[in-house]
Amino acid sequence: MTDRDSRRDSASTPPRSPVVTPDGRYLVVRGRLWRRSDPSLDPHERERLTSELMAARRAKGAAMRADDAEAREAARARVDAAKHALGERGPVWWEDDAPDLTRRMARTTLYAEWWASLTEGERS
């Protein structure tokens, strides 16, 4: 199999969903924890906020391509506001006083034993 064939095979493979911690608080992407959206959000509100987040990310990309610093900062503020509203930033949405471990490596947190128990295939 050539490099080109392996690229073609990987390009046709559907992307895998990120691994979710057993308590449902985090997604694990490349071994790093990222806070999930608040599960208590109304599904329609979550959909609206997710749409706003994606639109804000597209606006940020367009502003960066256009080298428009003012538009970039406005889009960054939109992204931040959407992430706060979704519960992915700001105060945690859980109520058991557990710390926010966002951006930490799963292997160095209280999830280390669970993370180590996953196979390489489950992690990717």
Q: Are residues 26 and 53 in the same domain?
A: no
Residue 8 domain flag: no
Predicted local confidence at residue 123, as pLDDT: 78
Q: Are residues 47 and 73 in the same domain?
A: yes
pLDDT in tens, the chain (124 residues): 444 444 445 556 667 788 999 999 999 999 999 999 999 999 999 999 999 999 999 999 999 999 999 999 999 999 999 999 999 999 999 999 999 999 999 999 999 999 999 987 787 6
Residue 32 domain flag: yes
Predicted local confidence at residue 1, as pLDDT: 46
Residue 91, number of CB atoms within 10 A of its CB: 8
Q: Is the dihedral of CA 82, 42, 15, 18 positive or negative?
A: positive
Residue 2 domain flag: no
Domain region containing 79 = 42-87
Predicted local confidence at residue 54, as pLDDT: 98
Q: Are residues 48 and 79 in the same domain?
A: yes
Ramachandran category for residue 97: left, alpha or beta (phi over 0 → left; psi -120 to 50 → alpha): left
